[in-house]
Chain A
């Protein structure tokens, strides 16, 4: 796999040491999981009033930064979305706070509306940006560059709003100078605390706010959404093939991240009582990424560690060797990337005894257990029909006119020599490629224009040639995702029993052998209970024993599903005892039983390029 290729290379760093299911009631789990964060908040709040003014100021600033870093850790470390412009949403939040508070505070004496507004407006901005990013299907690096471009554009434009015509209500945007004299945190009068908070009160507020944000994010990450996000990060393609609309998922995640960054921005504006465009600069964009990297981007707690470490170093460096801050921060960054590429918290976590790690258990993610084989024995056999499919790439016509109908029999095999168009045909069936002409019907409905995830939701199951499972999730989590993605799933243990993996349920999918991963993938497909299953070279890379088991499995499955198998291996095809369709030079060359085809001279000529006198 090409390093740094512009495809969906997932950054496979382990994010959770262990995720075992739990039979304890959810509340107990919650209590245990959040005991430590809550304790930290309580201690911090108790200590806060005794901190010096300067220290309290510093910590409020760091907390606002940490909330921004938290949003990037969530987006990047958890969902695999590297936004290089997360500071733009932080800045949107800061400016929103400024504009709303200047207009509202004189009337209401509180700035909570401004803070909430900061989060909301940033979330909306994130949603708009995310729609553009994800529905255009931009690759990793491009995505980060576009987010960077966005923050630079905002910086350039805002820096030029110096004229008096640039105002929103009472707030003059001020261009490069920014907006000064903002009111800081002030609660509504009903809380009994009049006026703006003192520095120490702001510190307590900031600690509580950070605690709330952290806990909310942690709960999201641990629940069903968290599992989907983990799947997204681990293997986006497989998520699509399980029926998830990954674009919508990414958009949701990005919006949440944006809202959180916006809240951080609002706190930042309240702290400084001042905002200016430098929050949108390239330097600030990179700094946010540095915080996430140093702390460990897979770790939510790492956001705090990263911010505190980097900012402390920057401040301390200035005292030791004055005016050399960029140098020292630069060296710190280089050192972290070279020596601790996963970040501080995950690297240190490796030294923590596994008991503590095991304490971080997940909530049970699949409450609903599907009824066994729900409805699958009564439903009619799945059908897939293609009419006059044609596809060309550049000047090459890969498929010229392919028509076929699958579903009369339980299994159908597709073969063809190199260049016949098998892969292209497969990709058209799955929906990854659109045909130039022709139609595809799944169980009677026209799905020609539908993307893969929508076909998979409607009864198509797809198993790729290279096993495509969620490597860094457990077998159980793999199947949970499959079950959650289908409207008619079957029971997890049944799916596992069919492929013989029930004893590996708590193991990481990445620890399975190649053959076992193939079966896991089949289990994922089966669990969704599709009516038609496409298998791309299911025997690839397997030894004879495994191939026999796979063939037996295919026969078993054919009782309830229609299977379409694309294969190279002739002995595999023969053992299927199924009708064979042969593609050659972009058309259906022959169709019939395996024995018929194998005796056909034309078939042998197509494969070998010459007439053969021998029979198989």
Chain B
């Protein structure tokens, strides 16, 4: 009984991790068709800001996470104005390359400021025991956070004016502009939201993993796979792809070895793309 609970919870944790680290990338890629290779570095930024605030300024953990999110939004906004906005009309691959250059710069700056292995924060909230198995209570927080993120995104993009405009601009940029939508401002907000989500994701992960400037690299591969196979409906598609990839990965890691877990994720992504070349939600009628 305890074992089953443990397996289920850690499976959910893997899926939730995937959601939390991919949400920002899904927004930016889904709405703007920009491949943000620096997404991992924004994750890292959120995590580092969180741990720094907690350890050096003794800010409570939850508040530190909120601050980290705002910092991510601010940095993302600045970078969008200075760098990214110039290349929207370029080829998709240019956004990939410029953000890759950006990721190198951000990595090095982080190393210069924080060193390669800064101290971390412990996992709060203790452990929950079921039978002879126990798991961190924080895992449940992680799962809740993933659900809240998706719900929040859904509400944002269906109930707010910004959300409606952003989706319109994504589907038909020329038409939207002709109708007076200020595309530049929308893009700026969207990119900032994407970076904020990435930083939030990193902040949420910080108490569970080892925080270092290179942590972004570890998550970027999986985040990419999740987002790309999600397809055009970036919220529900990402949820589904996280379920699929995370589920397979967790199942393999639990039943076989950690190596199979990692490999299984990539293999599943390839198989899904083979069967559905435009992504899981490629042929869906829903927009989100």
Contacts and interface: CB of A to CB of B under 8 A. Distances in A.
A153 B266 contact: yes
B91 interface: yes
A331 B97 CA distance: 11
**Most chain A beta-carbon contacts within 10 A, residue among B92, B263, B279:** B92
A51 B87 CA distance: 42
A513 interface: no
A289 B217 contact: no
A6 B108 contact: no
Interface string A243-267: 0000000000000000000000000
Contacts of B173: 2-3
Contacts of A380: none
Nearest to A281: B217
Contacts of B124: none
Interface stretch (B7-15, B204-212, B269-277): B269-277
**Most chain B beta-carbon contacts within 10 A, residue among A11, A149, A286, A329:** A149
SS class, residues of chain A in contact with chain B? helix
Interface in A93-152: 132, 136-142, 144-146, 148-150, 152
Contact of B92 (A137, A141, A160): A141
A341 B104 CA distance: 19
B68 interface: no
B266 A141 contact: no
A149 B226 CA distance: 11
A341 B259 contact: no
A149 B225 contact: yes
B277 A334 contact: no
Nearest to B225: A149
Nearest to B228: A145
B15 to A, nearest CB: 19
A540 to B, nearest CB: 20
A136 B86 CA distance: 33
A330 B90 contact: no
A136 B87 CA distance: 30
Given A142-B228, A282-B220, A326-B108, A150 B93 contact: no
**Interface size class for chain A?**
35 or more
B86 to A, nearest CB: 6
B116 to A, nearest CB: 11
B235 interface: no
B267 interface: yes
Contacts of A138: 273, 277
A217 interface: no
A140 B100 contact: no
Interface string B96-124: 11101111110111001000000000000
A332 interface: yes
B228 A290 contact: no
B132 interface: no
Given A82-B93, A149-B225, A286-B37, A132 B274 contact: yes
A9 interface: yes
Contacts of A149: 221, 224-225, 266, 269-270
A136 B274 CA distance: 6
A338 B98 contact: yes
Given A140-B92, A289-B97, A327 B37 contact: no
A475 to B, nearest CB: 26
**Interface size class for chain B?**
35 or more
Contact of B267 (A148, A153, A334): A153
Contacts of B102: 330, 334
B35 interface: yes
B91 A9 contact: yes
A153 B217 contact: no
Contact of B270 (A4, A140, A146, A332): A146
A157 B258 CA distance: 11
Contacts of A330: 100-105, 107-108
B108 A327 contact: yes
A607 to B, nearest CB: 26
Contacts of A394: 285
B101 A148 contact: no
A153 B273 contact: no
A245 to B, nearest CB: 18
Given A142-B273, A338-B98, A329 B104 contact: yes
Given A138-B273, A341-B90, A324 B266 contact: no
B105 A331 contact: yes
A139 to B, nearest CB: 7
Interface string A1-41: 01111100101000000000000000000000000000000
A324 B274 contact: no
Contact of B98 (A132, A136, A282, A333): A333
A337 interface: yes
Nearest to B38: A330
Contacts of B92: 3-4, 140-141
A156 interface: yes
B89 interface: yes
A390 interface: no
A229 interface: no
A289 B89 CA distance: 20
A293 interface: yes
Contact of A142 (B87, B90, B98, B277): B277
Contacts of A132: 274
A465 B88 CA distance: 28
Contacts of B217: 282-283
A146 B94 contact: no
A483 to B, nearest CB: 31
B236 interface: no
A138 to B, nearest CB: 5
A290 B96 CA distance: 11
B273 A337 contact: no
B81 interface: no
A338 B83 CA distance: 8
B262 interface: yes
Interface in B195-218: 217
Contact of A148 (B86, B91, B224): B224
Interface in A299-358: 324-327, 329-334, 337-338, 341
B33 A5 contact: yes
A142 B92 CA distance: 12
A338 B104 contact: no
Interface in A590-604: none
A341 B101 contact: no
Nearest to A333: B101
Nearest to A137: B277
27 contacts: A3-B173, A136-B277, A138-B273, A139-B277, A139-B278, A140-B92, A141-B92, A144-B96, A146-B273, A149-B224, A149-B225, A153-B267, A153-B270, A156-B259, A157-B263, A282-B217, A282-B220, A289-B97, A293-B97, A325-B108, A326-B108, A327-B104, A329-B101, A330-B103, A330-B107, A337-B90, A341-B94
Which 10 A-B pairs rank lowest in CB-CB distance, beginning with the nearest?
A: A330-B104, A333-B101, A327-B108, A4-B33, A4-B92, A330-B105, A334-B101, A326-B104, A330-B101, A326-B108
Given A4-B34, A144-B96, A327-B104, 4 more contacts: A146-B273, A293-B97, A333-B97, A338-B98
Interface of B: 33-35, 37, 83, 86-98, 100-105, 107-109, 112, 173, 217, 220-221, 224-225, 228, 259, 262-263, 266-267, 269-270, 273-274, 277-279, 285
